[in-house]
Amino acid sequence: MQHRSTGWTGHCVMVESAAMIALIVDAAVGWPDRLYRGIGHPIGLFARAIDGCERRWNRPSFTFSARRALGLATLVLLLGVVIGVTAALTLMIEYLMADFAWIGFGILAWPALAQRSLFQHVRPVAAALHSRDLPVARQSVSAIVGRDTGALDEAGISRAAIESLAESLCDGVVAPLFWLLLLGLPGVWTYKAINTADSLIGHKEERWRAFGWSAARLDDVANLSPARLSALLLCMAGGGGWRMAWRDAGKHASPNAGWPEAAMAGILDVRLAGPVAYDGVQHDKPWINAEGRSAGAIDIDHALRLYIRACFLLWVVTALTIWPL
């Protein structure tokens, strides 16, 4: 594979090759526990910075407008640092590694992907349900969703796992790769910083509504195209789901998460979303594919197979962007 090229074309070749490196390494090893115990994960740095600003600036005594402005300031500071550091790393790698810079880019982009981690978090939920161990299944699914899980039955646990898998295909795989291909290292890590901020503070509860407003809105924009691409990949992988994605995506509170979730619901022919509780408060959300079956452990298995096929299609698309060059 020839990488000696100048200008925009040469940069594109490096970024696309880096994307393949990141996909391969992530699928092969994920983010190993030994590495996590030794140095943590870059997302942890974002989380600590956001948490520090939130504790100092998101005070009940401040007005709604002040907290919204301080939430925006938190995001601007975080993204400014991320863009500055990743841009500097990009220049340094290009200078030091020259024609082999794509390897360095790939290694630095690898932690932003979550192909293997997502599979490893969802599979134990299905395994516990197959063993009829609801307490373990609830505990396993609580690691990947924010809803209350203590009273969930098999259908509720299965819905939660499948919804998380579908949405996280976008957040953890498609969107990071999309922004990596589009804007290189600054793009992928800026996206991860935005997505982390949204997951921590971009909520509608009173405590977060003002402070997390900008994080939630920016995350909506950042996922606009990746969410629809995720739905497309799932529909291609499953040979269906198009009608349901088009019909029911808008029933989700998020302008983006509904697309992969509705596609998954259509392919599996199961009901997703519906009533859910957060912090003891019941929320009567509309059903996606209301006429579908109740989900079960076997549907999580099917969803995981769809997820693997969708990731494979993403590999193929990424490889095809490199091949002609």
pLDDT for residue 2: 43
Express each pLDDT in 91-112 by its tens digit. Answer: 999 999 998 999 999 999 999 9
The rounded mean pLDDT for the chain is 93
Percent of the residues in the chain that have a pLDDT greater than 90, as a whole number: 85
Q: Is 228 within the bounds of a domain?
A: yes
Q: 90 is written with which tokens?
A: 């990009």
Q: 173 is written with which tokens?
A: 């795989």
Q: Is 237 within the bounds of a domain?
A: yes
Express each pLDDT in 38-48 by its tens digit. Answer: 999 999 999 99
Q: What's this model's pTM, rounded to 2 decimal places? A: 0.93
Q: How far is it, in rounded angstroms, from Cα 58 to Cα 304? A: 39
Q: Is the pLDDT score of 34 beyond 60?
A: yes
Show the beta-strand stretches assigned E in the chain.
272-273, 276-278, 281-283, 287-288
Q: Is the pLDDT score of 251 beyond 90?
A: yes
pLDDT for residue 6: 47
Q: Is 41 within the bounds of a domain?
A: yes
Q: How far is it, in rounded angstroms, from Cα 135 to Cα 146? A: 17
Q: Is 96 within the bounds of a domain?
A: yes
Q: 181 is written with which tokens?
A: 């291909």
Q: Is the pLDDT score of 325 beyond 70?
A: no
Q: What is residue 203's three-state secondary structure?
A: coil
Q: How far is it, in rounded angstroms, from Cα 258 to Cα 242? A: 13
Q: How many domains are contained in the chain?
A: 1
Residues 104/107/111/117 CA torsion (nearest 10 deg)? 160
Residue 298 lies in domain:
7-322
Q: What angle do CA 191, 272, 276 make, to 5 degrees?
A: 85
Strand 287-288 with 281-283, pairing: unpaired
Q: Is 90 within the bounds of a domain?
A: yes
Q: Is 1 within the bounds of a domain?
A: no
Q: Is 201 within the bounds of a domain?
A: yes
Q: Is the pLDDT score of 260 beyond 50?
A: yes
Q: Is the pLDDT score of 270 beyond 80?
A: yes
Q: Is 318 within the bounds of a domain?
A: yes
Q: Is the pLDDT score of 8 beyond 50?
A: no
pLDDT for residue 11: 56
Express each pLDDT in 188-233 by its tens digit. Answer: 999 999 999 999 999 888 899 999 999 999 999 999 999 999 999 9
Q: Is the pLDDT score of 10 beyond 80?
A: no
User: How many beta carbons lie within 10 A of that of residue 247, not counting itself?
Assistant: 13
